[in-house]
Amino acid sequence: MSSSEVLARFRSEVSAAVTRSRRASGEIGERNAKLRERTRELAERARGGRSATGAAVTPADVREAATGFRSGRGLAVEQVPEVAEPAAHAPVETEPAAALGSSAVAGPSGQLPRASDDDEDFSQSRILY
């Protein structure tokens, strides 16, 4: 290949890369504009004392922590109207998740290895046997 062919190929690849980056930037800009608009709508609803249908109320302690975080960093803290706390729901019982991996096997001595959550210790017999 001659130097002019190499230069032409390089310019072509750079041009394609710039085109891809501009397209991606435009798509991200559109997505961010939609997100900002949706956030603006939700903020307007919150200022008016309306919430999204079925939206859970943020607990008071979480609101206080968020306010402290923002004010501690010099960020604007918008005051929104207080809403009544919802009645606490009973915890939902779920089945425990099945343990992944294999179960321990007795070693040559016939004893099971001691239980440990340290998966970095390869000297454990449950790994060696």
Say which DSSP state 98 is in: P
pLDDT tens, position by position, 23-55: 999 999 999 999 999 989 988 887 776 665 566
Position 91 scores a pLDDT of 61
Query: CA nearest 127: which of 116, 100, 96?
Result: 116
**What is the Cα–Cα distance from 23 to 31, expressed in whole angstroms?**
12
Q: Are 45 and 51 in contact (CB under 8 A)?
A: yes
Q: Is the dihedral of CA 57, 69, 42, 35 positive or negative?
A: negative
Calculate ∠ Cα 53-54-55, nearest 5°: 95
What's the confidence (pLDDT) of residue 33? Answer: 93
Q: Are 67 and 77 in contact (CB under 8 A)?
A: yes
Q: What is the pLDDT of residues 81-125, one digit of tens each?
A: 676 655 555 565 666 665 555 566 666 666 665 666 656 555 555
What pLDDT is recorded for position 115?
65
What predicted TM-score, i.e. pTM, was given to this entire model?
0.39
